[in-house]
Amino acid sequence: MKTYSITILLCACAIALTSCNQGKTEYSEKSEVAVNEPSKEDLVKRGEYLVNIIGCDHCHTPKKMTENGPVPDMDRRLMGFPASDSLAPIHRNDLGPGKWMMMNGDLTAFVGPWGISYGGNITSDDTGIGAWTYEQFKKAMTEGKYKGMDNSRPIMPPMPWESFRMLEENDLSAIYEFLMSTTPIENVVPAYTPPPAMESILY
């Protein structure tokens, strides 16, 4: 009788331990998923934070003049160089090794030995990066490929992609999600002007 009772007790303990272990496993798995997979809302919030501290507005947002000088015009945020704007005359004697590199008053156009480059439209509009895949965005940010395409030209200065390539995958993903959540602004930025083509606009 005693042997029978002890056997029943041991079986009950084994079942209880198995149930506890299963419960712990399920809880652990759920916790890991929750930690490793942030919500889209969290990614967008993280991406906005990174865009702000990295300073994307410096080159990609047109400016408006205030009593404190030029500040980003948030109504046109991240639309790049305005398609309706034009550049001031550029004197050929100002450019060259040991001379000047220049920016327009908006800080969205840049002139140097590489030619003339323009801050791109990085809003979610199709004239910006709205149609880009994440892989395109990653290639542009980490390999300096125009439009994130393998056979495209390099992205021109002052885009600091050499620094951005050190961003961690989750940060790149967060920036992408934030940019895809921005207000779409239709704005076709002028094409990059290589040095030979600059001759026709220099005086």
pLDDT tens, per residue, the chain with 203 residues? 555 555 554 455 555 555 545 555 555 555 555 567 889 999 999 999 999 999 999 999 999 999 988 899 999 999 999 999 999 999 999 988 889 999 999 999 999 999 999 999 999 999 999 999 999 999 999 999 999 999 999 999 999 999 999 999 999 999 999 999 999 999 999 999 999 999 888 99
The residue ranges of DSSP E strands in 47-163, in sequence order, are 63-66, 69-72, 102-103, 109-112, 115-118
d(CA 29, CA 115): 54
Q: What is the pTM of this model?
A: 0.80
